[in-house]
Amino acid sequence: MRAVLATRNAHKVEEVRRILAPYDVQLVSLGEFPDVGEVAETGATFADNALLKAEAVARATGLLALADDSGLAVAALNGMPGVLSARWTGKHGDDVANLRLVLDQIADVPDERRGAAFVCAAAAVTPAGERLVVEGRVEGVLIRAPRGSNGFGYDPIFVPVGEERTTAEMSSEEKDAISHRGKAFRLLAPRLVQLGSR
């Protein structure tokens, strides 16, 4: 089954390809469709944004489209940055600045109140408009200074429950096994076969 992932983010494409490797899904990047524009993430929730992107890309490409929206929900920030995670500083995709801003905002928060979760909504939409969305979540805590060089985004400051390492200190395979995106796409994958065969 051929599907297009509604992103040009190479890190994300590589991660989702690894997660879907056990399934019969040939995943292509939105980068292979230069005429398809960026989809504005105007939804109020991760699921809203994932569906907006998948619907637009399915219409534009005529392929089964997969999309996700994910981010960091910090308890001490009332669940923010949430859907604004990639543009928390106001500029989209500046991972280092976004991470520093979150650390600055919770600098005075004691360790026992630094709970956070990575959340991912993964959506699939067929060219005919059939829709499916699932959510994956991993709970953890935020440390005070970045550690590790793997991963991207907020990985260097996020330690999952039951771990001592940040997700940026884990191998790709270790991270995929527990990550919010891994959980969401593993929930979605078995149902893609049914969706794609209709």
Class of residue 33 by CB neighbours under 10 A (exposed 0-12, middle 13-18, buried 19+): middle
Name the nearest CA neighbour of 125 among 14, 9, 6.
6
Total length of the chain: 198
Exposure of 89 in the CB half-sphere (CA atoms within 13 A): 15
Considering 24, 48, 69, 176, which one is annotated as catalytic? 69
What is d(CA 159, CA 165) in angstroms, rounded to the nearest whole number?
6
DSSP label of 32: G
What is d(CA 128, CA 131) in angstroms, rounded to the nearest whole number?
9
What is d(CA 158, CA 34) in angstroms, rounded to the nearest whole number?
34
Active site residue 155: no
What is d(CA 132, CA 17) in angstroms, rounded to the nearest whole number?
19
Give the residue numbers annotated as catalytic, written as ranges. Answer: 69
